[in-house]
Amino acid sequence: MPTAGTSRITTEQGKRGGKPCVRGLRITVWDVLGWLGAGMTGEQILDEHPDLEKADFPAVYQFAAEAGRRAHLV
């Protein structure tokens, strides 16, 4: 069951290989995390990807944390 934050994360067959995307956009959770990991700030990401919203970042973090917990249980 998705939590309130992760409801912003969608998965659609055929879109970005079924990877989790932000609000149906073609921007994946892993894209956002990769940009942050490469040193971009949230503001830089928002400037380069105006379809993203500031509220998407907590959803990305929460989704990744939950995915990490699930992977740990396997």
Q: Determine, yes or no, domain membership for 1.
A: no
Task: Give CA–CA dist 36/65, Å, rounded.
Answer: 15
Instruction: Supply the range of the domain harboring residue 18.
Output: 6-68
- The alpha carbon of 15 is separated from its chain's Cα centroid by a whole number of angstroms, namely 14
Q: Determine, yes or no, domain membership for 58.
A: yes
Q: Determine, yes or no, domain membership for 43.
A: yes
Q: Determine, yes or no, domain membership for 74.
A: no
The two beta strands, 21-22 and 9-10, are antiparallel
Instruction: Tell me the three-class secondary structure of the chain, residue by residue.
Output: CCCCCHHHEECCCCCHHHCCEECCCCCEHHHHHHHHHCCCCHHHHHHHCCCCCCCHHHHHHHHHHHHHHHHHHC
Q: What is the pLDDT of residues 17-71, one digit of tens each?
A: 999 999 999 999 999 999 999 999 999 999 999 999 999 999 999 999 998 887 7
Determine the average pLDDT of the residues in 9-21: 95
Q: Determine, yes or no, domain membership for 62.
A: yes
Residue 64's CATH number: 1.10.10.10
pTM of the predicted model as reported, rounded to 2 decimal places: 0.86
Q: Determine, yes or no, domain membership for 28.
A: yes
